[in-house]
Amino acid sequence: MRVAMIGAGYVGLVSGACFSDFGHRVTCVDTHPGKIEALRLGRIPIFEPGLSELVAANVAADRLSFTTDLAGALEEAEAVFIAVGTPSRRGDGHADLSYVYQAARDIARAMRHYMVVVTKSTVPVGTGDEVERIIRELRPDADFAVVSNPEFLREGAAITDFKRPDRIVVGTENERARQVMTELYRPLFLNQSPLLFTSRRTAELTKYAANAFLATKITFINEIADLCEHVGGNVQDVARGIGLDNRIGSKFLHAGPGYGGSCFPKDTLALIKTAQDYGAPVRIVETVVAVNDQRKRAMARKVTEALGGSVRGKTIGVLGLTFKPNTDDMRDAPSVAIITALQDGGAIIKAHDPEGIEQAKLVLDNVAYVDTPYQAVEGADALVIITEWDAFRALDLKRIHGMMAQPVVVDLRNIYRPEEMLSLGFRYSSVGRGLADT
């Protein structure tokens, strides 16, 4: 099949590359000439494991191409995906749908034959209705169907998630569109991936509900971690104990500094705003957002307490800046709030991240960015681990102890064992593992 993908960002590029790897002919369209030129030259604008190789292979096979010409991309396309950004709108927290609606207008002007218009972007309930209205208003003669097909991609594992999904949700009640979407995803039938057809509005809501539930699990275990610290419990054992219950599951039960990234913060906020607009507030999600925001600053206080109540004039080495490993994404990363709070307290920050430094420079000022973990800890009064990159899991702890001005480690991802750290002479603090580590 021939597919056009509007938006060559994270979702559009991953989806386009994977569809082309299935054997479809995909053209990724973007309004930024510089991005398109870079992609043609093989330069990938984001870090995602395996994506560069996947793009290169399918470009070489003439199944994947890049252009700024939407009309040309739609000439033979049977489906066009809208995969543009929907950031939180400044001022009110609603999803900014201006890029989605502009894409709808552009499609309306360019389409010349029957086409399935697929919203891949994360959009609030009713967006598909508005996309359809926009196209029909501009092109009352057009033959098309609007479908919702939300993405469920984890940054750092997006290719695997696309090719071996837990489920594929398609929102349409149009039989012709249903056949097109079934054919698009037919290569996944060998993996027995569930293809769930729903109404369009149900599909739109499913994406928000999924992210809100996962954010709730993270926030829940973080609050249990706080309780563990007061009563002498171990949150990792609690998480195992409840995660072995099949009704709960073990995923997203890892205590830490709070969730961040491109999805959870904006999607929970957009769901709250949508629910308020319809007079059906989601109180649990409202609390999740509030607790998560507070938690990031609380982690900075944890570092301050580990240094005796003040960080003024202290040098703090930070390991991990991105919101999670295997990405360079700094959007709503806990490190931003934590480092900013420490700087407000007078701390001097040295930081290392395997992939996120260039993006971090755009959002964090007055930080000394270094090339290795050991450069970050040299002469530091405290080491803070914020992101659990694999490269941080087996550091030479004896070497680190000898390099630091004070052997203080605040492990916000519980990478190391308290008893080992204490035996090496560190003053060690972690998350939700009781009083033994203080």
Minimal CA–CA distance to 302: which of 255, 257, 258, 272?
257
> What's the CA gap between 199 and 208, in Å, rounded?
15
Residue 429 pairs with which residues in a beta bridge?
Answer: 410
Structure tokens at 302: 């944890």
Instruction: Round to whole Å and give the CA distance between 158 and 92.
Output: 30
- Other C-beta atoms closer than 10 Å to the C-beta of 143 total 11
Strand partners, 169: 196
The number of angstroms, rounded, from the C-alpha of 108 to the middle of its chain's C-alpha atoms is 31
Residue 316 pairs in a beta bridge with 349, 382
E strand or H helix at 197, and its extent? strand 195-198
Q: How far is CA 200 from CA 109, 131, 196, 267, in A?
A: 23, 12, 12, 18
282: tokens are: 């989601």
Token pair recorded at residue 134: 């926009």
SS3 368: strand
CA dihedral 70, 71, 75, 80 (to 10 degrees): 40
Q: Confirm whether 228 is a catalytic residue.
A: no
Residue 73 to residue 12: CA distance in whole angstroms: 14
The amino acid occupying position 154 is R
Catalytic residue among 18, 28, 228, 263: 263
Count Cβ atoms below 10 Å from residue 43 Cβ, excluding itself.
11
Q: What are phi and psi of 95, to 5 degrees?
A: -70, 135
Distance, CA of 142 to CA of 217 (rounded, Å): 44
Place of tokens 């700087």: 343
CA angle 104, 106, 107 (to 5 degrees): 65
What residues are paired with 315 via a beta bridge?
Answer: 348
Q: Residue 77: what are its φ and ψ, rounded to 5°?
A: -70, 135
Active site residues: 263
